Amino acid sequence: MEPTCSSSVAELAKYSEDNVETDESKVVEHQEYAEALSMSGESRKRKRWTRRSCCTRQVLSTGAIFIALLLIIGAIYMHLRQKHHLGRLHINLKDRGQVEVLEEDFPMVTVAGVDAQTPTITKFQPPPTSSPEPSAKCLACMATTATDNIPAICRNRGRPEEPCGIYRISHVYWQDALRIIDPDDSLAQDYGRCVVDVQCAERIVRSYVQRYGGEDCNGDGRIECRDHVRLHMRGPGGCHRQEPLGSLAERRLENCLKYRGIT
């Protein structure tokens, strides 16, 4: 009986040691598996973060490129607006029946009275004798420079579009000139009828030059037809500042002066 008991005890002890070793190996395997899972999870997190970072960078890069393109387009647009032959001085003609619409962004006679006070029609004042008066040839060049002798449509402030003749006489221009127009001149008192009548429009232009003339608009030391044209196109303020004409208007003026023999 004793040997048998001793043998059983020995086998039980050996079995227990085997189980302990097996349990320890399983624990190690579980730890290794847990570490592998942990590393795998961190790897997936890093991949997701990398993808998100890439997407964010792509969005930011695309946005930056788009903003840069907008800035470039805006700079080109502003550059063109300052070109005499491409931007704000460009003239477009649109057909409207038998009347041509002349659209010009550069300051024309529509702002001739800007530097003067708000005009009010007062009693008749005779034209000053000291102011020069444009000749018939100069008047022809004024019309050529303003509209190329094409009856224009004016967009007067606070008024609907309306014909304003070959001199492109604005409502403010007409009011300024009317101060020294004979009040008995009934046709001249009617803006809509006068500006489309060549002879009446000439009286308005002459009166305007007589009222605001007498100043050298181009700084050449003389007061002659070129100064009358600049006064007509730029108004008294533009004349005083010696503002140049646009390239198209300047070309029209010089061609007309040469054709009419005006020096």
- CA-closest candidate to residue 212, choices 245, 240, 182: 240
Tell me the average pLDDT across 208-224: 91
For residues 98 and 101, what is the distance between their CA atoms, to the nearest angstrom? 10
- 173 pLDDT band, cuts 50/70/90, is very high
Tell me the average pLDDT across 109-119: 41
Does this model's pTM top 0.85? My answer is no
User: What's the gap between Cα 36 and its chain centre?
Assistant: 65
For residues 181 and 133, what is the distance between their CA atoms, to the nearest angstrom? 14
Torsion angle of the four alpha carbons 180, 182, 111, 156, in this order, in degrees rounded to the nearest 10: 160
Report whether pLDDT(130) > 90. no
**Main-chain phi, psi angles of 101, to 5 degrees:** -95, 120
C-beta of residue 204 within 8 angstroms of C-beta of residue 174 = yes
Torsion angle of the four alpha carbons 218, 222, 225, 227, in this order, in degrees rounded to the nearest 10: 30
Each domain of the chain, given as residue ranges in start order, spans 47-85, 136-260
For residues 203 and 200, what is the distance between their CA atoms, to the nearest angstrom? 5
* Tally of residues, the chain: 263
pLDDT above 70 covers what percent of the chain? 61
- Give me the long-range contacts of 174-178 (CB less than 8 A, separation at least 24): 174/204, 175/113, 175/119, 175/121, 176/112, 176/113, 176/116, 176/119, 176/208, 176/211, 176/212, 177/204, 177/205, 177/207, 177/208, 177/211, 178/119, 178/121, 178/204, 178/207
The conformation of residue 168, written as its DSSP 8-state character, comes to: T
- Residue 89 sits at the vertex; the CA angle it makes with 85 and 91, to the nearest 5 degrees, is 90
C-beta of residue 155 within 8 angstroms of C-beta of residue 101 = no
C-beta of residue 228 within 8 angstroms of C-beta of residue 138 = yes
Please name the CATH architecture into which domain 136-260 falls.
Answer: Orthogonal Bundle (1.10)
- Placement of tokens 């529509």 in the chain: 110
- Residue 249 sits at the vertex; the CA angle it makes with 246 and 250, to the nearest 5 degrees, is 80
Q: What is the pLDDT of residues 131-159, one digit of tens each?
A: 578 999 999 999 999 999 999 999 888 88
Give the range among 73-82, 168-177, 202-211, 244-253 with minimum mean pLDDT: 73-82
Tell me the average pLDDT across 92-108: 40
Report whether pLDDT(80) > 90. no
- CA-closest candidate to residue 249, choices 88, 79, 133: 88
Report whether pLDDT(252) > 60. yes
Tell me the average pLDDT across 67-83: 77
For residues 103 and 99, what is the distance between their CA atoms, to the nearest angstrom? 13
User: 152: which strand partners?
Assistant: 165
